[in-house]
Amino acid sequence: MLTIKNPQQLIGQEYSEWLKVIGANENKYHYEFTLGNREMSQIETILLHRKQTENGCYIMEYNNKTLWLNKDDFDTIDKIIICMQTI
Protein backbone atom coordinates (compact mmCIF):
# COMPACT_ATOMS: atom_id res chain seq x y z
CA MET A 1 0.00 0.00 0.00
CA LEU A 2 1.19 3.45 -0.89
CA THR A 3 2.09 5.73 2.01
CA ILE A 4 2.67 9.47 1.65
CA LYS A 5 4.38 11.08 4.61
CA ASN A 6 2.47 14.13 5.83
CA PRO A 7 -0.03 14.50 2.98
CA GLN A 8 -1.35 17.58 4.84
CA GLN A 9 1.74 19.42 3.54
CA LEU A 10 -0.17 19.72 0.28
CA ILE A 11 -2.78 21.96 1.91
CA GLY A 12 -2.31 25.53 0.71
CA GLN A 13 -0.36 24.54 -2.40
CA GLU A 14 -1.54 26.16 -5.62
CA TYR A 15 -3.10 23.87 -8.19
CA SER A 16 -3.97 26.66 -10.63
CA GLU A 17 -4.48 30.41 -10.50
CA TRP A 18 -8.04 29.76 -9.23
CA LEU A 19 -7.69 26.63 -7.12
CA LYS A 20 -5.61 25.59 -4.11
CA VAL A 21 -5.38 22.32 -2.23
CA ILE A 22 -7.72 22.76 0.74
CA GLY A 23 -7.80 19.19 2.02
CA ALA A 24 -5.77 15.98 2.03
CA ASN A 25 -7.33 12.83 3.47
CA GLU A 26 -5.87 9.36 3.72
CA ASN A 27 -8.45 6.60 3.26
CA LYS A 28 -7.96 2.85 3.27
CA TYR A 29 -7.79 2.58 -0.53
CA HIS A 30 -6.88 6.07 -1.75
CA TYR A 31 -5.72 9.56 -0.89
CA GLU A 32 -8.30 12.25 -1.52
CA PHE A 33 -7.06 15.75 -2.35
CA THR A 34 -9.68 18.49 -2.30
CA LEU A 35 -9.24 21.64 -4.38
CA GLY A 36 -11.19 24.83 -3.84
CA ASN A 37 -11.27 28.48 -4.77
CA ARG A 38 -11.31 31.39 -2.33
CA GLU A 39 -15.08 31.62 -2.18
CA MET A 40 -15.47 27.83 -1.94
CA SER A 41 -17.88 28.07 -4.87
CA GLN A 42 -15.82 25.54 -6.82
CA ILE A 43 -14.73 22.30 -5.16
CA GLU A 44 -12.87 19.54 -7.02
CA THR A 45 -11.49 16.19 -5.85
CA ILE A 46 -8.45 14.25 -7.03
CA LEU A 47 -7.94 10.63 -5.97
CA LEU A 48 -4.61 8.80 -5.77
CA HIS A 49 -5.13 5.06 -5.33
CA ARG A 50 -2.91 3.42 -2.74
CA LYS A 51 -2.80 -0.05 -4.33
CA GLN A 52 -0.44 -0.74 -7.23
CA THR A 53 -1.81 -2.08 -10.47
CA GLU A 54 -0.50 -5.35 -11.89
CA ASN A 55 2.13 -3.44 -13.89
CA GLY A 56 3.41 -1.65 -10.76
CA CYS A 57 1.77 1.73 -11.38
CA TYR A 58 -0.47 3.87 -9.22
CA ILE A 59 -3.59 5.55 -10.56
CA MET A 60 -4.57 9.19 -10.08
CA GLU A 61 -8.12 10.16 -11.05
CA TYR A 62 -9.68 13.55 -11.69
CA ASN A 63 -12.74 14.59 -13.69
CA ASN A 64 -13.12 11.16 -15.35
CA LYS A 65 -9.45 11.24 -16.42
CA THR A 66 -6.82 8.74 -15.35
CA LEU A 67 -3.07 9.22 -14.95
CA TRP A 68 -0.81 6.17 -14.49
CA LEU A 69 2.18 6.91 -12.26
CA ASN A 70 5.38 5.27 -11.12
CA LYS A 71 6.45 5.83 -7.50
CA ASP A 72 9.26 8.17 -8.70
CA ASP A 73 6.68 10.43 -10.38
CA PHE A 74 5.27 11.62 -7.06
CA ASP A 75 7.88 11.05 -4.35
CA THR A 76 7.87 14.71 -3.24
CA ILE A 77 5.15 17.26 -2.52
CA ASP A 78 6.18 19.29 -5.59
CA LYS A 79 5.94 16.23 -7.83
CA ILE A 80 2.48 15.37 -6.48
CA ILE A 81 1.30 18.88 -7.42
CA ILE A 82 2.81 18.49 -10.91
CA CYS A 83 0.99 15.16 -11.35
CA MET A 84 -2.24 16.76 -10.17
CA GLN A 85 -1.80 19.56 -12.70
CA THR A 86 -0.97 17.07 -15.47
CA ILE A 87 -4.18 15.17 -15.08
Q: What is the pLDDT of residues 12-69, one digit of tens each?
A: 999 999 999 999 999 999 999 999 998 989 999 999 999 999 999 999 999 999 999 9
Confidence of residue 77 (pLDDT cuts 50, 70, 90): confident
Q: What is the pTM of this model?
A: 0.90
Q: What are the CA-CA distances from residue 20 to residues 3, 50, 53 (Å)?
A: 22, 22, 29
Domain that holds residue 53: 7-86
Q: In this structure, is residue 1 part of a structural domain? A: no
Instruction: Give the chain's domain count.
Output: 1
Q: Which pLDDT score, from 0 to 100, does residue 29 have?
A: 96
Q: In this structure, is residue 12 part of a structural domain? A: yes
